[in-house]
Structures are given as structure tokens and as C-alpha cells.
Structure 1
């Protein structure tokens, strides 16, 4: 049965929400105030006809819009879109009874993503295609152009499709190419290759290495193990140049990284010693070291090794002490942090409740929390607030353009 509804608000995952007879109805690709028509199934109206569009609706720029699951909000004008992301942060904090200044969302321009995860499949006609998952589906949407990607990455898509063919040896293989544009060119790490049957054969490895050479890849690796490296891929963190470990974490957009690191540095100025927890290869460590001595810790042995190499690449920094340590199993204690007047922590999506409890018991007067998950940030923030900190301000950062994802930087002071 066809139903006509009015969208009243946006849900957390970016779908419009209307009030139907049986309760809320989620309508993908719609906007507040719009009148839509379609069939409701299991509380969703997929493929809705827009009868009355919102004045905030704009023309999408991606040819895969509506099918690809990556950029589902590109039909929304920038002003209300960015305001909605800020509102998401405000609402998430409110659920933990936290009130603070939430700044306007920091925007990033299109064409700036230096990292992509491209899925590869072989079609029935033998052609290898790359793309992203469809909305709420395992189906692959072929992508030949991507408006959020750095144009230098986008230009390599034909080469990457050729490369992917080498990793489709086993019918159960579902390769994902994690591609990164670095100071030294393209770095590719491939995951999702069937291993139980013996892994990638020597012939297919040689095929992949040959294509990597023809395409002048800086490095090609398989699940973090280097297959061939023409040049060590490097990235710049503040004044340092750091060798990027194969398969290592890196912020997706340099402009978003700069927005977050600049706010962290500004917050800790005046401190003599700063802890950088979950430091990776030094995203925040090196900018922080321009103003203070830094104690850096992360579980990644390869990341800490890269950070130590990077120390020798820059001049004018304060001392950096780096250690490989699992901060979930062995968080730094108040004793370990006794010299730190300020602490910066940037945990994975799950947050860092154990480490946060130790930070709360430390003598640090300033804490900067960086998060890709407002829910776990709010949970961890509550621990700090109950220990006597005040959340001074939060800055949302739109690192993943036209998605429902939002990152943030929060500054706490005792």
C-alpha cells in the first residue's frame, strides 16, 4: 500500500524520519520538511518519491548517488548538513547529562580523502571492478569516479582494478584494497584474501608485483606483510616526516587532521610535559612536541618504531619518549603520568574507559579527548567530569564528508 508522509527530522544514521500510523518510518535520501510517497515495509520506505522537496535539497555530485552507501547526504545543503552534525554531538552529550560549548562543525572540502578502502569483485564476464558497498547491502557498487577522493587517488582506479585481479585467485577471496596517497606515491595494503586454502600462490604474487611495478606503486602489502616496496611511503606529522607502516592507521583527510591537531596543541600550551595516548605513528605527537616534551604510547609496535624514526627527521622539537604498550590491558597509571600536566588521548571507536579512569586519577590539569565516536566520547567524558574536570568545549569535525559520521575534539580542564 502506497503511503504519503512528511519528514519531521533526521535520524542518527542520516535517514529522514516520518511518523507513520504504526510508529516512526525511516526514509533514506530524504530531508526534514519533505513530503514523500512510497511503500512502508518493516518501518522503512526505500525508494521514496519526493513529492515536495526541501529548499535545502541540492543536486548530488556523485554518479553513484542513491546506490553507493558512502555519501548518502550529498543532497543536503552545506549549512543545515553541518548544523545537523553539530546537533548530533549536542544530543549525544545531553544523554550523559553533559552541557558545554559545542563549536560549529569544521568542514572539509571534496576531493581531499587520501585514504580509501576499495572492494574488488570479478563479474561473470571476467571483468574486475572496484567499488563500495551498496546501502544496507553486501552488493558492490562499481565506482569509477569518487568526488570525496583526492584526484591523485581517483586517477589510479584503472590500475588498482588490474592489481585486484591478482588477488581474486580463490573463489572465497573478497579483496579490499586499502589505498593511501603518501609523500612518496601510492601505498596499497590488501586484505580479505582466502588463507585457509594456502593463501596467495607464488604466481599470483608475482603478477601483483609486476602490476605494482608498472603502476609505480610505492609499496604493495598483503595484510600488513610487504610484497614489494619501491620507496618507503612517508607522511608528514607537524615538522616530522614519518615512515608509514604497512596497513597502519592514518587520518583520512589531511585538513581534518590539521583541525584536530591544531586544537590539541592550542589546549596544552604552557604545559612542560604532555602524554599522547593511542599515539599511532605520531599524528599528534610531533605537533605537540613543538610546544612541550611528549610521552607517547600505543599498542602498535610498528607505529612506535616509525615514530622513533620520525624523531630524527625534524628540528626544533622538544624531547619525545615513545613506548609500545597496550593501553586497554595496561593503561598508563597516575604514577606513569605524574610528570604530565596535560594529556591527549585518541582511542579507537570503542573509547578507552580503563585508560580514562587512570587519567581521571592523575594530576594533569588539561585533557584533550579526540574521538571518532561521540557515544564513547560522552561515556569517557562523564568519568572525567565526575573526577573534577570541566568539559570546556567540543569541536565537531566532518572528516567523512556527506556521511553520518562525525569526529570531535574535546578540551577538559580541572
Structure 2
């Protein structure tokens, strides 16, 4: 059969509608009984996968395609989402984070007869695949995998699987263990010794911080912020920088900015170098971290915070009118209620960041119908070789 196109999940769609993994548009293939494909006529864009784990690991979908192809494909995902709402605009290309730049990873850990296995799941399977040479992760995270194997033996039973989320910080790894195992006094002592021995910044068991040796800080605009466990964080520092650059260009010289879905201050704190910022976020502990970071930083203008569920209680038009720019970075579901209010207000500038082109296009249409102009979009690929794509967009109102 022949592959006609790629879906937004990176699956090849054959002429009869069959979906096939790890193939490219234009290729002629033979479909094997196990569902895999034997390539008869390869695409000119086919390359050798750079990672030796690609065939067994389910973490990456597109390592068999050239960088140029993946970039075109991801920009095409954005264009398709926009086209569904009749939107055309200038797409300023794509910024792709380099290999070995992911600063957070969620591993799965299982005990074995000989010890433990830590890695990612195989595609469509609960089988755990070891990934010691993963091409996505910063070296600091890869280096902690042996320690995670030791931690799995502590945290997992012979039949259970544990989740091990590791975030790279300047003060060492921040490790969060997802487990149902009871945290006893004896276990606390064992975990404290483990954290000391492996030089962890923080170790969190389920939702409870067990030990913090050094603050697990991230740096936002010169401010050091220690996010609470499981707080949202951009996947790569490189991608975060590209999104921030687009936001800064959009807001320009604005002096009063509201940052909606602010998180721990990814945009609020850098923007506070030149403007007063009001940060609004639904999860209070993230705002506490943002506020503490601002108070200890030097040279920043006033930053205020407000804990508020923007899905149920969006900022109203009369609350928005005091600002001359808005930054909005909602989760994958988008921000219908808040965007409705923005469309009715007089804020002249809106910088929107999105991790879902489909909900972005829906929300962008509301702003356009409300009188805004979509000036440009910058596509950002922090999740290299995956179907995930992000973007930053600039809106202005006359």
C-alpha cells in the first residue's frame, strides 16, 4: 500500500485509510502481520533514527523523519487548526529545542528479580523499556537513572509500578515519587539518607515533601523560584526562552500587564523588569512560589498575585480595563470563558501562548470576532520528535 499523508499524531494514513506507525507520506510499504511496515520505496525525508531506543521506546513518534520534514509537519498542524476556523496569518517559522534539552521527565519504575527497571513505556504497552541513552533528556536527568532504580526498590512492590518524575534544577534533581506505599517513620529516615547520598535537591513522596536539602529553584527573569511539587514548567529552557521572546515582543513597552494562568511566573517575573504585573493563577502554591521569588529578587517592578479559577471566574471586563496588555497561557483545554471577556474589553495587546493548536484556533476566532487582529504566530517545538506542538501569538486592537 502507499502512504498518502501523516496524521497530527504522526501516523501514516494509507490510501485505504489504514493507519501505520513509523512511515512517511509518499512511501510504498508492505504491512506485516504484527502491524509494522516493511518499507518498499522510502521517502527522501526518511533518516536513520538518532536514538538507539527508538524502535522499542514509545516516547518518540517521528525520529525516522528529517528535521525539515518534522518542522513542516508541525507547522502544518497549526495551519490546519487555523484553517478550520477560516484564519490566515503570518507564521514566522518554527523554533525547535535541541536534542538532550528536556529538563523534566516522568519515568516508570518496576522491581525485577535482579533489581529494578526504570524507563518509558513501549508504544501502546505497559512494558517498561530502559532508556539510558535517551536523546531527549539533559545529561543531569540521565545521570540520575541508576539512583531511580534504587528508589524503585524502596517504593514499589513486586507487582506494582511507580511513577518517578525528575526535574533538573541548579541545586540538583527534584524527584517526585508516585506510589501508594505508606510513608512510615522508618521509611522517612531511609529516604532522607537516600536523598543525601544522591545529592537530590528535594524528594517528594506522593504529595508530601519528605526532604528538601536545597531549594529546587528555577530561574525566571533573574528571580529564583522554588515551584511546589508537580507545578507546571515549560519542558525545555530553550523553548521557554523562545516563548518568552515572542511574549516580550508582543507586549512591547506596556507598563501594566495582567498575566492569566501565570503559573510560577514564567512570564510574569521577566516582564516585571519593565512593567508592573498582576499574576492570576488557580493553584495557590504556585503563586506563593512566584511571590517569594519576586520578593527576593532585585530590580523588578511591582508584581501582585491573585488565586482564582479562571475557568469558573474569569476576570471581567471592568477588571481588565486597568491593564494595557494581557498575557494568557492556558492549559490544553484553552480558555473559552476568559477569552470571551478579553474579546469584550479594550486591552490593546494580547499575547497568547498555547500548547494545543486546536483550542488556540477556537479561542483566536473569538478574539478576531471581537475586533482583534492576529499579527503573527511563532511555532515552538519543545517536544522534539513528538506530535506535541506549541505556539505564541500576537494580537492587537486598534
With structure 2 as the length reference, what TM-score do the two structures score? 0.96
Q: Determine whether 1:326 maps to 2:309.
A: yes
Which residue is 1:186 aligned to? 173
Which residue is 2:131 aligned to? 143
Which residue is 1:31 aligned to? 24
Shift, 1:126, TM fit: 4.3
In the alignment, is the contact (CA less than 8 A) between 2:110 and 2:158 conserved in 1? no
Residue of 180, 185, 196 corresponding to 1:213? 196
Which residue is 1:99 aligned to? 88
Shift, 1:285, TM fit: 0.3
Shift, 1:179, TM fit: 0.4
Shift, 1:116, TM fit: 0.3
Residue of 282, 287, 304 corresponding to 2:270? 287
CA distance in 2 between partners of 1:177 and 1:38 (Å)? 36
Deviations 1:275-320 (A, max 9, x none): 1011111000011112221110101111111111111233332211
Q: Secondary structure at the match of 1:275?
A: strand
After TM superposition, the structure 1 = structure 2 runs for residues 9-408 of structure 1, keeping only pairs within 5 Å, are 9-20=5-16, 24-39=17-32, 46-123=35-112, 125-169=113-157, 171=159, 173-191=160-178, 193-194=179-180, 199-408=182-391
In the alignment, is the contact (CA less than 8 A) between 1:119 and 1:177 conserved in 2? yes
Shift, 1:14, TM fit: 0.4
In the alignment, is the contact (CA less than 8 A) between 1:349 and 1:373 conserved in 2? yes
Q: CA RMSD in A?
A: 1.5
In the alignment, is the contact (CA less than 8 A) between 1:170 and 1:194 conserved in 2? no
Shift, 1:232, TM fit: 1.0
Shift, 1:138, TM fit: 2.4
CA distance in 1 between partners of 2:128 and 2:29 (Å)? 27
Deviations 1:159-190 (A, max 9, x none): 1111122110474x431111001111110111
CA distance in 1 between partners of 2:322 and 2:206 (Å)? 38
Shift, 1:26, TM fit: 1.1
Shift, 1:409, TM fit: 0.6
Shift, 1:111, TM fit: 0.8
User: Which 4+ residue blocks in structure 1 deviate beyond 4 angstroms?
Assistant: none
In the alignment, is the contact (CA less than 8 A) between 1:29 and 1:66 conserved in 2? no
Change (3 A) 1:202 1:51: farther
Deviations 1:9-34 (A, max 9, x none): 111100111112xxx11110111121
Q: Secondary structure at the match of 1:82?
A: helix
CA distance in 1 between partners of 2:233 and 2:319 (Å)? 27
Deviations 1:105-155 (A, max 9, x none): 1111101111000111123x2421111121122222222221110011111
Using the TM superposition, name which of 392-401 and 140-149 deviates more: 140-149
Shift, 1:206, TM fit: 3.3
CA distance in 2 between partners of 1:211 and 1:46 (Å)? 44
Q: Secondary structure at the match of 2:167?
A: strand
CA distance in 1 between partners of 2:172 and 2:319 (Å)? 39
CA distance in 2 between partners of 1:313 and 1:222 (Å)? 28
Q: Secondary structure at the match of 1:296?
A: strand
Q: Secondary structure at the match of 1:36?
A: strand
In the alignment, is the contact (CA less than 8 A) between 2:115 and 2:149 conserved in 1? no
CA distance in 2 between partners of 1:309 and 1:201 (Å)? 31
CA distance in 2 between partners of 1:174 and 1:392 (Å)? 47
In the alignment, is the contact (CA less than 8 A) between 1:188 and 1:219 conserved in 2? yes
Which residue is 1:8 aligned to? 4
In the alignment, is the contact (CA less than 8 A) between 1:184 and 1:234 conserved in 2? yes
In the alignment, is the contact (CA less than 8 A) between 1:105 and 1:395 conserved in 2? yes
Q: Secondary structure at the match of 2:165?
A: strand
Q: Which structure 1 segments of 5+ residues have no match?
A: none
In the alignment, is the contact (CA less than 8 A) between 1:188 and 1:220 conserved in 2? yes
Q: Which structure 2 segments of 5+ residues have no match?
A: none
